[in-house]
Amino acid sequence: MMQPKGIGRRDFMRAGAGIVSAGLAVAQASGAQNAAPDAEPYKVHWYPFTEHPDSDTCWSLSVGPDGRIYAAACAEGVPGGVVKPVRYNEQKDGLDYLFNLAEMVDDPGDSGHATQCKIHYSFAPSMHDHVMYMATHLSGPPIDLPVYNPWYSWHDKKRLFRGAALLAFDTQHDRVLWWDTMIPKEGCRCLLHDEERGLLYAISYPRDHFFIYDLKTRQRRDLGRIGSINSQTVFLDRRHRVWTTNDYGHLVRYTPDTDRLEISPDTLPHANYQTGWHSVFYDVAPAPDRECVYASTWCPNPHLMRIWPNEGEWPRIEDLGPATQDRDLTFPVDMFRDHCGGLVFGGDGKLYYVASRWRDPVYNPLPPPHKEREGVVWRLDPRTLERTEVTRLVHPNGFAHYVSRGAVDHNGDLFFGHVGSNPCGIFKVSMPADRKRENAHLPIRMWG
């Protein structure tokens, strides 16, 4: 179905939850390899951003150096909207609102410029000093305009986004240590911290440039453009090389020794009817032993994959197959409906992730009480690659199928950031006792 004229890029995310049809046949999701167990072992709880009612998205959720969960209450659809970082408080079983980030970086929501509206896969921890770095992204319109387009306003000094703000938050003392404009005029799409070398790596939007920020000198370097479609993740290997993707699904590697961005000859796994175009990283989770990573793509019919960056001239890549269901191949399913994110290793050494499932009269006629769209939490055994559906995320009045990021806290419980409801929020999935462990978040993921 075509989007009605005038529907914005994000509007489709807010499609109503009430579209429920009855009398449909039993679900037959093609991705499922095991039936869903009862929900009790993986109890789901929803934490809406009630103290930030403008929030409409949660693009970042990460575990901090303190083992607690941090999330971004973003407000990108609201003129003048700003992002407020929150933290899960296990004592009160609720959220603490840390600060208004726009005010902290002297770029308030009513500036007339595009706003500091969100943190987009850009939390990055620093273990030695207990700092959580966070960098902002753009798209929130100025307070007196309905939308912001960075291409349209690139040369407009009155409306232009000031730039991605990098902020260092001391998680021990709950204070902002410093901030800087990391990428002028552009947003930060994703962020990585190489703690041993004191460097942050980022990809900018909209120009898709690769940036290196030196935390000691607070100087940035622009390594230039990668392409047109942002990868949504950068990750680090043992040799301090930084990996991401380009428009055509090739790996892009930055090697500090050569100071070059290079492109792999092969493409990432993708559906066989596709070319690899748009197979950019969505989410990448490191295996606990750091020998490989697990990734999903930001592409219709996203595939899961396992990548071994420490092997060979270019990594060995294993295609773990599609993350979501079969579909009509003549219809371009949108990437909001067809989605896989929230990749995180639990304390049990298994990979958890959330993949969407949606009603399709031919390929997946989900009957009630299933909603039209669902977010399914999967557990993947890295040894056998067996996948098990462990629970479904349940939103009180909307869909819960689009998870941006997942993280495990120091207690071993899972958390997932969610996009598409208003106000937005995060999910907690309480892990069964035998699948938890203390300090399950270690070794910590160093990228957003």
Residues that bind other proteins (CB under 8 A): 50-54, 78-81, 143-147, 149, 151-152, 154-155, 185, 206-207, 224-228, 246-247, 260-263, 265, 277
Structure tokens at 159: 């409306």
Kind of pairing between the strands at 175-184 and 280-286: unpaired
Could you give the CA distance from residue 338 to residue 358 in angstroms, rounded to a whole number? 8
CB of 443 to other proteins, least distance (A): 31
Positive or negative: CA dihedral 175, 180, 186, 188 = negative
CB of 8 to other proteins, least distance (A): 9
Positive or negative: CA dihedral 3, 120, 94, 286 = positive
What is the enclosing helix (H) or strand (E) of 104? helix 101-104
Closer to other proteins by Cβ: residue 246 or 324? 246
Closer to other proteins by Cβ: residue 28 or 255? 255
Closer to other proteins by Cβ: residue 12 or 308? 12
CB of 53 to other proteins, least distance (A): 5
Could you give the CA distance from residue 383 to residue 415 in angstroms, rounded to a whole number? 24
CB of 170 to other proteins, least distance (A): 27
CB distance 366 to 359 below 8 Å: yes
- Among residues 332, 305, 326, the alpha carbon closest in space to that of 316 is found at 305
Closer to other proteins by Cβ: residue 149 or 439? 149
Closer to other proteins by Cβ: residue 148 or 345? 148
CB of 225 to other proteins, least distance (A): 4
CB distance 22 to 368 below 8 Å: yes
CB of 176 to other proteins, least distance (A): 22
Query: What's phi and psi for 295, nearest 5 deg?
Result: -140, 155
CB of 181 to other proteins, least distance (A): 16
Closer to other proteins by Cβ: residue 227 or 382? 227
CB of 52 to other proteins, least distance (A): 8
Closer to other proteins by Cβ: residue 155 or 216? 155
CB of 284 to other proteins, least distance (A): 21
Could you give the CA distance from residue 176 to residue 182 in angstroms, rounded to a whole number? 16
Could you give the CA distance from residue 344 to residue 269 in angstroms, rounded to a whole number? 20
CB of 224 to other proteins, least distance (A): 4
CB distance 115 to 54 below 8 Å: no
Beta strand segments in 309-394, E: 316-322, 340-345, 351-358, 373-380, 387-393
298 beta partners: 280
89 beta partners: 94
- Among residues 154, 261, 147, 242, the alpha carbon closest in space to that of 206 is found at 154
Closer to other proteins by Cβ: residue 179 or 210? 210
User: Around 332, how many Cα atoms within 13 Å sit in the side-chain half-sphere?
Assistant: 5
CB of 154 to other proteins, least distance (A): 4
Closer to other proteins by Cβ: residue 114 or 446? 114
Spell out the residues 6+ positions from residue 224 whose beta carbon is closer than 8 angstroms to its own: 209, 210, 261
Closer to other proteins by Cβ: residue 56 or 283? 56
Kind of pairing between the strands at 340-345 and 351-358: antiparallel
Closer to other proteins by Cβ: residue 24 or 143? 143
